[in-house]
Structure 1
């Protein structure tokens, strides 16, 4: 059998309309998975589906706000009815916030909690019982190096990603007897359209300078690529990683261990 064969597996990936989630969806499809994309942005999700289908893969998209539990329940029920068992869940959907404690408003805080924490909880709450009943499954949560080290002006975001790692450990521990593995990935800065948009919006006329500064904050001297994160996700969700659960994997160009 070839390595990393996802043939016959159904993978649900949240926030796969762009960036890291899109790269994960494309790679999983290339390895044979049927991909179900859950995204609040229907148009971008459909673009990912169209690209997968052009490459000969199978994919569907479902418009859903992961922060809304009833929408999540309805969407997962629809996937179960139309596609079948969910073998892989990737909780990738998330939003960012720049600010320290004093300039993080209650509205900012609640927005981050609703998507980055409650959104992950909602997906786990809907999918884990199905995996339990079907005899197992694999879950991968997207955390961040912001959960592992202090990063200036990332108070709410760091808090939310710390919660993601804690949920990962809890689910991994509680569902060992049911053959459900659960891990997380903690990327440093990854070059996505979001990064380009953030720089263009906040640093007009200094785009190149700021991009270089952000790139050099990783000791390796550049930002990560979405495809590199996708490759790690592929491994952790594969049968080849069957002995791995309850772990967080920094993919950070040396950011956590080599910055000084």
Structure 2
């Protein structure tokens, strides 16, 4: 049997009797001993517990989520279709060159705010003339597939956060809706958060079910040569759209939403006022 307890994968290479299960980034557990084959990655947060303990030695009362609950969706990038970035290095490129090229701490600041430090890096990159509806449908289907495969673990008390930029907003909106749909099918009241940055084709994005779960930020002078026109998403909380990008010469307003701290600070201030997001406990 490939999958066992909690829909996690059994590790036959460690034990032929399927007594060892894989928790993804969180190592796994040997069902015979109730211990991990490797140390808990967050052991520094729990100095009173053994780094090899599972569920704090109390599997009846405790749950151990896999933690990969923040999804960054980038917009158009020719590198996503470049063979030299295929494989594992593609995730590295998206994280270090797309999301953290100017603001080196962007993804870290997001993770700290939502109290979650394990992330996915997806791409909505298609072409200059792609339609929002097509990207939104792709995001929806990706979310369903990731839930079905076990990459995303749904829980009523474990929020999923989607941070999206440019063309990635339509994809990310669909991803959020896919997570909600998968949760509904499983009888779970799943929490999702949307951080919408430099929204492309805002009038063509369907915000059903996610408009009260999202905050958007677009600089008022945004006019990217790649994805225009820009604008606001209706019915989504607006985090200071009149702020003008300035500072480094040549820095476009379109890229400034991820390259300047002020954009995410505006998102956080709006959240404090409206109390929109659900954070990981």
TM-score by length of 2: 0.38
Q: Which has the larger radius of gyration?
A: 2
TM-score by length of 1: 0.40
Higher helix share: 1
